[in-house]
Amino acid sequence: MGSATIDMLIAAGLLGAVLGSFYNVVIARLPAMLARDWQQQAEQLLELPDSTAAEPRFNLVVPRSRCPHCQSAVAARDNIPLLSFALLRGRCRHCRGAISWRYPAVELASAALAAAVVWQFGLTGNALFALGLVGISLILLAIDAEHQLLPDALTLGLLWLGLIANLDGRFAASGDAIVGAVAGYGALWLLFWAVKWLTGRDAMGYGDFKYLAAIGAWFGLEGVLVGLLIAATLGSLVGIGGRLCGALGRYQEVAFGPYLAIAAVILLFFQPLLSSWLWGGLGG
């Protein structure tokens, strides 16, 4: 447990809210950027004219954020994390169109998690790596929930970040991190093909394989087992509840990435406690 003061926790929360504002930009724009890139690749493969050539630049920096309803540019005063949403009462200043609750939710979650990271790890190198984990996990949770998409740039980036962190054994021994990454990918790969062979249906996407591999890179083989148990339990509860309430159809697909994201964050803070509850720790 880090020796964090109240001032440090407040500063961490403010930083987390600012980071959450950036995460919202990534959540909103990265799927559109990928869709444009895939379209360009398809047109090049088919030797078709580039239909996006005349479109303005679109990335994480440009153009400026705009209201999705009236296309008015969002002024800096209306882009202050959490505060602007509260002052505007969740509506665009110009057209009074509703602003998605996802924006303050991500900013608030990022603020709380940043403070929790400093509380747990203090102002250390471990805290910097942990901020990377919770930030990427928040982004992946939101993107997969909205688009059923886990971008390789994020899942593989998270995997490599975990392996780098564990070169010094920060969250798992380096050898265990490599074994965990392989086991994480392999476990869901085997499950995918077993379900496909039995039912002819795809149980999940390849992004889920890479995400569980990333969890293994961070927390080792035990992290894969505990993380998969957490994610599968949460997913099953939500799926059963949704079907009982009529919110989900019998064969309606449910994104698994959000539950992996929740599992990754839970492991970051509670892996030793959870493993001791479940089986006393593998090999320990």
For residue 65, is it left (φ>0), alpha (ψ between -120 and 50) or beta?
Answer: beta
Average pLDDT value for the chain: 89
Quick: pLDDT tens for 193-211.
888 888 777 777 889 999 9
Quick: pLDDT tens for 163-184.
999 999 999 999 999 999 999 9
Share of the chain above pLDDT 90, in %: 59
- Look up the pTM and report it: 0.91
Q: Burial level of 135, CB count in 10 A (0-12/13-18/19+)?
A: buried
Q: Assign 280 a pLDDT band (cuts: 50, 70, 90).
A: low
- Alpha-carbon distance values, 98 to 24, 77, 92, 95, 237 (Å): 16, 17, 6, 9, 31
Quick: pLDDT tens for 109-131.
999 999 999 999 999 999 999 99
Using the 8-state DSSP alphabet, how is residue 280 labeled?
S
Using the 8-state DSSP alphabet, how is residue 169 labeled?
T
pLDDT of residue 283 exceeding 50, the answer is no
Share of the chain above pLDDT 70, in %: 94
- Residue 212: CB atoms within 10 A of its CB come to 33
Q: What pLDDT sits at residue 149?
A: 94
